[in-house]
Amino acid sequence: MTEDAPEGLLLIISGPSGVGKSTLIERLNRKFDFVFSISATTRERTEKETDGVEYFFLDEPTFMAWIEEGRFLEHAHVFGKYWYGTPRDAVQEHLDRGRVVVLDIEVQGAEQVRSQMPEALGVFILPPSEEALHRRLVERKRDTPEVIERRFAEARSEIAAATAEGQVTYDAHIVNDDLDRASEELDAILTERLQRPAR
């Protein structure tokens, strides 16, 4: 992190499944050496996972207590089964050290975070077209046709919310029609923000 931005910066990146977020984030990290926010979850830990590394693993009563205590920047009940959330203290600790902290979260979570941290930088990654996104979801060959259609419906809903007139969650929208160009655009957006004089 440069001395120009000693406060650190919270970078929110959102976009539908299959749009290429992970690849763009990976490229960005080669230059900026940011830290990922670690989420908390009520799902059970697998043998290969370590508490505090992949996730903070909490039982449901503890998770509910954290919600009541305001310890999450955002939280959601996913598919009516498990709770997931972004712990505030862990994010703030990295920000206080002047780091760039990246949150890869969906639109509703991003809205919650921006309401609490309006100084965060929000970027939404868009597909070249809905048809191209649907094709990517199919070509990945990761899901059944039913799951693909559900993901596609969710993606259309996310895109509509993120691009609605008057939305204040995202400062920029990047169309990932060419990976190199999209990567350069994301790089430029973050660089410009980091070079602003500290408040």
Count of structural domains, the chain: 2
Give the residue numbers spanning the domain of 94. Answer: 38-98
Note whether 144 and 170 are same-domain residues. Answer: yes
Mean pLDDT of 27-41: 89
Alpha-helical (H) ranges within the chain are 21-32, 60-68, 88-96, 107-116, 130-139, 145-162, 179-194
Tens of pLDDT, residues 46-65: 999 999 888 999 999 999 99
**Res 4: pLDDT:** 46
Note whether 53 and 149 are same-domain residues. Answer: no
Note whether 118 and 183 are same-domain residues. Answer: yes
Note whether 1 and 16 are same-domain residues. Answer: yes
Q: Average pLDDT, whole number, for the chain? A: 90
Note whether 54 and 145 are same-domain residues. Answer: no
**Res 31: pLDDT:** 85
**Res 2: pLDDT:** 44
**Res 3: pLDDT:** 47
Contact status, residue 9 vs residue 101, Cβ threshold 8 Å:
yes
